[in-house]
Chains A and B, each alone.
Chain A
């Protein structure tokens, strides 16, 4: 079935249409929207595009970085200042999907997708959203919790603070097919160190709940500690608390609960 395509030069106009038309869907890289259209998804009657240059902007020189919602994973991989985000960007799809898929679309990608968003959640990112009534910044955790209700809003960009060292931020995607494949589980850890101790621990998980979630019990086990074997064990045994994984073709809920502690232990102890 044919749909109407509306293209705007500025994001505010696109946002106004998205918020007023329930059948309107924003087109980022299109890797999920076009899939839905090819399948004959009749819930989409209008496809909205914005050619606003601001959506494609990368600001990566300072301590706080901002990625426009339309930035692709291939572009992130081309930025030397964004090395800390290369592992999550590289873990997505094959080369064509990385040339097409965007940071903004990843925020909405359902399981087994949304790997980049796991990294952003561990980095306490902020999501800039343009609604019908103007723009606002939302903490990514809150954004994900209310994701269903965000469908009428346009994401403009995401920002986060650069980790202070390479060891402070770690990422691991468990997939059955390498170098490509949907996530069985995805983990990201941000462990800033202050005075030799972990201060502000963040552990984020993908495919362990309907949306990406933080493993808060594991974070508590790490907070204020030295990253030694005892602390790592405590975090690994607490990591399933609050999770609600499901079964899919890539793995069962039981399997996911069994392996998440093993992979967190490996991630925290720097094992391959």
Chain B
């Protein structure tokens, strides 16, 4: 089966790869680009740990046909930190004990970023809604919700 050339922006950098027909974006990012930050949890849309931003919108990379992102801009957790400094959301996750095993964390951070980029001071209900497609089996969600609210508060006052 022939491969298809594919170009897109990955965390602000142009990348070009060849994909097999039917390859999903998660596999393309992890196996062809080497960005291991989006995780594989289910491949079914159910867990959210593969979440990435496509042109600023939250998408599940495991359910995205890689070819559909040609020419578009993809952001993953790998692009979140600002130089040597953690992004305020990452800092808030660390300070609020919002990660235990850490498996859900990349998806949670991308879902939180998608929210705060559009709505810098969300209500608690809006935070709950924003991460409703992401499953965490460790923290019980409260520390994650608190971390996102703390990051939003920090941003607002900064």
Contact = CB atoms under 8 A, between A and B. Distances in A.
Interface of A: 1-5, 7, 27, 30-31, 34-35, 37-39, 47, 49, 74, 93-97, 99-100, 179-180
20 contacts: A2-B21, A5-B65, A5-B67, A27-B65, A31-B45, A31-B63, A34-B64, A34-B65, A35-B43, A37-B22, A74-B57, A94-B48, A96-B45, A96-B48, A96-B111, A99-B57, A100-B63, A100-B64, A179-B132, A180-B133
Q: Chain B, interface size: which category? A: 20 to 34
B27 to A, nearest CB: 9
A96 B57 CA distance: 8
Contacts of B45: 31, 35, 93, 96-97
Contacts, number: 87
Contact of A95 (B20, B62, B130): B130
B51 interface: yes
A135 B149 CA distance: 50
A113 B154 CA distance: 39
A2 B66 CA distance: 13
Contacts of A99: 57-59
Contacts of B64: 30, 34, 100
B22 A49 contact: no
Contacts of B157: none
A4 B44 contact: no
Given A2-B21, A3-B21, A97-B133, A34 B63 contact: yes
B86 to A, nearest CB: 24
